[in-house]
Chain A
């Protein structure tokens, strides 16, 4: 009981420090690093939720791009100013009711919440038939779902404006919104993973038959993980739409899922803190690795810039990881206060021991 209180205090303190750092960063860092950081935070939201399904419950989903698309379009439709809406839908009129209202800035939170709800509903629709079957049908069904959303987004012009997409979405997704959501998503998902529901999810991952024989409702457990992941996927999509300020169907293609898959596998399937670290790392590396896409002059050798070279690097990285470090950076390990405290205690112990040895020898 006492330890739990200590952990709570430490977590609150950490969040406080983080907010202070963000406040400082928001005032002193330039537009570009902040943009990278916000992108990283959005990756964290999506990856942590995705990991709940793939890592913790052990169900191979390929769906997050679909949920993010649902959330992205929902948010964009809700917060796009009316004037901008008339400007964007110039070929065909926009459909009712979205052509008649627009959320002001103080309802951005509500817009994100609704984006999450739509994402969760999408997950419900895909999950119910897929989880009735045993085996890897989920991968196929979720992949198909992403493609269906893509086709719908391209063709439902009164709703989505088709391939042209929407532009001029207000950029409400500030550093605080992005990181605040990332903190909430991480806390909620790790609460779930460490709860009785999380144990049931891990039991389903390790042995579905045994889990069922011990009274775990397998279908319900998978659905809870999947719908939660759909919710946060939707929220992440909403944040992304507001960060980039333009969306079109191509933003949410399978490449998005592929990026998230790299993040959760690199971080370790089943490790939430692993996904947080690699989610932020991925956003930073994506920018750092832009170097490889620029033309390179090595004296006599000239390498012309190749667009998409970053993905090649990431792919090679992933292959190397699968060969040499199959379980990802963290495996199923979590950075926890217990672990941090035990490390601190150990280093303190070593220092003490060294001091004692010094006094003994002198």
Chain B
């Protein structure tokens, strides 16, 4: 354990398997992600990519295997505890709090750091008011950094799609994560928006000192920014390597395009 942390491994998936009834959605999955890395997870539809994310963030408990975050065993933790430990995520289809303003969406993510008690909030004691004002200032600061400050008072549900995606990432950043999981961040974006997103992901990784693990179908994004790519199919890892290696891997080509029949 010690050695792993020293090597700068942030996330370890150790022989993770999950079964839903008779279906083995993820089978014996192993992965180490080092600090500061930008790792991509790709595979055909239904390969089990999002299931891997759901296991890391605690939505599912694996049938067997362990999940280690910075050397700590977080297998089967509740999602809110995983978030508090320092892992944040976005969702494949945008899941904002549509009835809240842009700023409030970001502030929800700071709730887990709140020190004031429920009663001090109910009676709006000065100690609570001060903490709330600080959270607001931090929230506005974050929105400024991701370029959404002008929209702070808009309803999240009324933003255009690209901005909603951006807000979802901002909301994840507001939990103060060290590991960020992005589930198909470029889904539904046009090429120009995708280019912006690629720059955005690289920028926040450097600015916030993040490790990024992402799922994506858009090969331009995956090949453009990921340093290492893992490919899974039917819940099994079939390849890992740099973008160049993956592009020429016969197994990957077969999984995506089907095998040639002789």
Which residues in window 287-344 of A have CB below 8 A to B?
Answer: 332
Whether A207 pairs with B97 at a CB distance below 8 angstroms is yes
> Within the assembled complex, what's the spacing in Å between the Cα atoms of A205 and B100?
10
> Within the assembled complex, what's the spacing in Å between the Cα atoms of A275 and B124?
21
> Within the assembled complex, what's the spacing in Å between the Cα atoms of A59 and B89?
25
Whether A210 pairs with B122 at a CB distance below 8 angstroms is no
Whether B132 pairs with A210 at a CB distance below 8 angstroms is no
Taking CB atoms, residues of chain B closer than 8 Å to A136 are none
A230 to chain B, nearest CB (A): 14
B133 at the interface (CB under 8 A from A): yes
The answer to whether residues A214 and B104 also contact, given A1-B133, A188-B123 and a CB cut-off of 8 A, is no
A197 at the interface (CB under 8 A from B): yes
Taking CB atoms, residues of chain B closer than 8 Å to A188 are 122-123
Taking CB atoms, residues of chain A closer than 8 Å to B110 are 196
A192 at the interface (CB under 8 A from B): yes
Whether A192 pairs with B95 at a CB distance below 8 angstroms is no
Taking CB atoms, residues of chain A closer than 8 Å to B61 are none
Whether B122 pairs with A191 at a CB distance below 8 angstroms is yes
The answer to whether residues A200 and B59 also contact, given A1-B133, A210-B95, A215-B83 and a CB cut-off of 8 A, is no
> Within the assembled complex, what's the spacing in Å between the Cα atoms of A178 and B158?
40
Taking CB atoms, residues of chain B closer than 8 Å to A121 are none
Whether A216 pairs with B112 at a CB distance below 8 angstroms is yes
Closest to B83 in A: A215
Main secondary structure of the interface of A (DSSP, over half): helix
Whether B80 pairs with A215 at a CB distance below 8 angstroms is yes
The answer to whether residues A195 and B121 also contact, given A213-B89, A215-B175 and a CB cut-off of 8 A, is yes
Taking CB atoms, residues of chain A closer than 8 Å to B111 are 196-197, 199-200, 203, 214-216
Taking CB atoms, residues of chain A closer than 8 Å to B122 are 188, 191-192, 195, 228
Whether A206 pairs with B97 at a CB distance below 8 angstroms is yes
Residue-wise interface mask of A (1-24) relative to B, using a CB-CB cutoff of 8 A (1 in contact, 0 not): 100100000000000000000000
A222 at the interface (CB under 8 A from B): no
Among B84, B99, B100, B123, chain A packs the most CB atoms within 10 A around the CB of: B99
Which residues in window 198-249 of A have CB below 8 A to B?
Answer: 199-200, 202-203, 205-207, 209-218, 224, 228
The answer to whether residues A206 and B99 also contact, given A200-B111, A212-B80 and a CB cut-off of 8 A, is yes
A58 to chain B, nearest CB (A): 9
> Within the assembled complex, what's the spacing in Å between the Cα atoms of A203 and B79?
15
- Excluding A195-B121, A196-B135, A215-B111, 10 further A-B contacts by CB distance (< 8 Å) are A1-B133, A196-B132, A203-B100, A206-B98, A207-B97, A213-B57, A214-B108, A214-B109, A214-B171, A224-B118
* 7 sampled A-B residue pairs with Cβ under 8 A: A191-B121, A209-B95, A212-B78, A212-B80, A212-B83, A214-B108, A214-B171
